[in-house]
Amino acid sequence: MNTRFYNAKILRTKPNQRFEIEEGELWVQGNRISYLGKSPERKVREETTWDREIDAKGNLLMPGFKNAHTHSGMTFLRSLADDLPLQEWLFQQIFPKEAQLVPEDLYWLTALANLEYLTSGITTQFDMYFFQEEVAKACVDMGFRLVQTSGLNNFGGSIAELEEKYLKFNEYHELSSYFLGFHAEYTTSKELMEGVASLVQKYKAPLYVHNSETKQEVEDCKKRYGLSPTQFLDRLGMYDYGGGGYHCVWFNDTDINIFAHKGLSAVTNPGSNAKLASGIAPIKKMLKAGVNIAIGTDGPASNNCLDMWKEMFLVSSLAKLKDMDAAVVDGEQVLYMATAGGAKAMGLGEADCLEIGKLADLILIDLNQPNMQPINHITKNLVYSGSKQNVKLTMVNGKILYEENRFFTNLDPAEIYRKANEIVKRMK
* CATH code: domain of residue 37: 2.30.40.10
At 47 the pLDDT is 76
Segment (H or E) for 104: helix 103-120
Whether residue 12 is contained in a domain is answered as yes
At 428 the pLDDT is 73
At 45 the pLDDT is 66
Whether residue 397 is contained in a domain is answered as yes
Q: Measured in whole angstroms, how far is the alpha carbon of residue 398 from the centre of its chain? A: 19
At 314 the pLDDT is 98
Whether residue 51 is contained in a domain is answered as yes
What is the Cα–Cα distance from 33 to 40, expressed in whole angstroms? 15
Whether residue 400 is contained in a domain is answered as yes
At 44 the pLDDT is 67
Whether residue 129 is contained in a domain is answered as no
What is the Cα–Cα distance from 143 to 409, expressed in whole angstroms? 7
Assessment of whether the complete model's pTM goes beyond 0.85: yes
At 94 the pLDDT is 84
Q: Taking the C-alpha atoms of 95, 151, 299 and 324 in order, what is their torsion angle to the nearest 10 degrees? A: 110
User: How many domains is the chain built from?
Assistant: 1
Question: What is the DSSP code string of 269-331?
Answer: -HHHHHHTT-----HHHHHHHT-EEEE----TTTS----HHHHHHHHHHHHHHHHT-TTSS-H
Number of helices and strands in the chain (H, E) = 17, 17
Which stretches of the chain drop beneath a pLDDT of 50?
Answer: none
Whether residue 131 is contained in a domain is answered as no
Whether residue 280 is contained in a domain is answered as no
Length of the chain: 428
At 91 the pLDDT is 85
Alpha helices in 204-268 (DSSP H): 215-225, 229-235, 253-262
Whether residue 267 is contained in a domain is answered as no
Q: What is the domain range of residue 368?
A: 2-63+353-407
